[in-house]
Structure 1
């Protein structure tokens, strides 16, 4: 790599596959304080890469032009690290240094954000356009003003794999409890990123495990949607829909209601539920 990573790697694996797995495991920790991991191999001080997660999905973005960076991309792209995939980038490779020089010639000033990214190991403009804003803001010395200038030149635009004809793992795997943790159990819907494989504008799906006694005491506001709730494990599970009371006792029992009906629920015993709601309503 022509530029040095400004952070030292804290861990050293003996193979690219081992390091790919370590990084994926690191991003499952709820105690994370950084959006980035520095990848390295034992005894190879210059063979580094920078990796961030495209949250909340199990998608990783790899930055750098070292052999290790290319190996990590292939491991995540191929699905070798189960449950994780690679953030797609367009096939072209435009040197970030060339972008900096063109902006300077065009009178855009020094573009300190560009110099900063070069020092941090970014090499190509396509690495920047595929990098989420949250990860860029986590880089030392890059604030909101610099991010605005950066996005004016290189907007966030990860390609659509189907539209671009790019290779993409044909399936999406993950864990419903983990992937739905930030959205109250909702796993599929309009709130999921477009490139995640879980984005849908027509339907929303929720997986949730409720301990015994868990309840929603307040009535949900009426909505212009239909809702299907299925008992998939445990139970019984009670659902109050307007003036009706339904108890789901056997696996596969379900209640279908709406639109325009308020509801509330209670787990009479520990229960795992699958809920489908359509059409999707943002908000």
Structure 2
């Protein structure tokens, strides 16, 4: 496993490193102190998630101002969007993805053991017309 090195110009590591457990798999984003260099970002968040079959998100989330992209690395994964059309999206082949905008309520379920990489960012202009950044959105928010 590639060891974690943090720098201002080059950073290395492995997204499955246990060092990222404290942030539920988020290895790039505003969760990290600036001294980690490139991994501390106020504009993008990146997460590597291992899900066992039948694990699921209880309740819906999506109340922040980020746009999200979830890419299936392996397995089969179901996203449910209770207020949207389509209401369900199944990622079943490596590379399948779903993208959803700010404040889109969603939940998920692993249909098989799955690996999903998620990227979140703040769009330039939020639906309410304001401009934000991840640091402001995450301040006082969940990881």
Is residue 2:94 matched to residue 1:246?
no
State the secondary structure of the residue aligned to 1:239: strand
Q: TM-score, normalised by structure 2?
A: 0.76
Distance (Å, rounded) in 1 between the aligned partners of 2:72 and 2:115: 6
Render the CA deviation track for 1:175-213: whole Å, top value 9, x for unaligned: 212232110111100111212130100111111110111
Q: Which residue of structure 2 aligns with residue 183 of structure 1?
A: 23
Point out the structure with max Rg over C-alpha.
1
Q: In the alignment, is residue 173 of structure 1 matched against residue 12 of structure 2?
A: yes
The 1:259–1:175 alpha-carbon spacing in structure 2 relative to 1, beyond 3 Å, is same
Match in the other structure for 2:103: 260
Q: Could you state the TM-score of these two structures normalised by the residue count of structure 1?
A: 0.40
Q: Is the CA contact (8 Å cut-off) linking 2:62 and 2:102 kept in structure 1?
A: no
The equivalent residue for 1:198 is 39
- Taking the aligned partners of 2:58 and 2:4, their CA distance within structure 1 comes to 37
SS in 2 for 1:204: strand
Q: Compared with structure 1, are the counterparts of its residues 223 and 84 closer, same or farther at alpha carbon in structure 2 (3 Å cutoff)?
A: closer
**1:262 is paired with a residue of what secondary structure?**
coil
- State whether residues 230 and 274 of structure 1, in contact with CA within 8 Å, keep that contact through their aligned partners in structure 2: yes
| Higher relative strand content | 2
1:236 aligns with 2:76: yes
More helix by share: 1
**Paired residues, what number?**
120
- List runs of 5+ in structure 1 lacking aligned partners: 1-81, 87-160, 163-169
Aligned to 1:61: none
- Say if 1:192 and 1:199, in contact at 8 Å, map to a contact too: yes
Q: Secondary structure at the match of 1:255?
A: strand
For structure 2, the 5+ residue unaligned runs are 123-133
Aligned pairs (5 A) from 1:21-60: none
Pairwise CA RMSD: 1.9
Secondary structure, counterpart of 1:250 in structure 2: coil
Provide the secondary structure at the position in 2 that maps to 1:176. coil
SS at match of 1:181: helix
- Aligned pair in 2 of structure 1 residues 217, 84: CA closer, same or farther (>3 Å)? closer
- Is residue 241–residue 257 contact of structure 1 (8 Å, CA) maintained in 2? no
Structure with more relative contact order (C-alpha pairs < 8 Å, separation 6 or more): 2
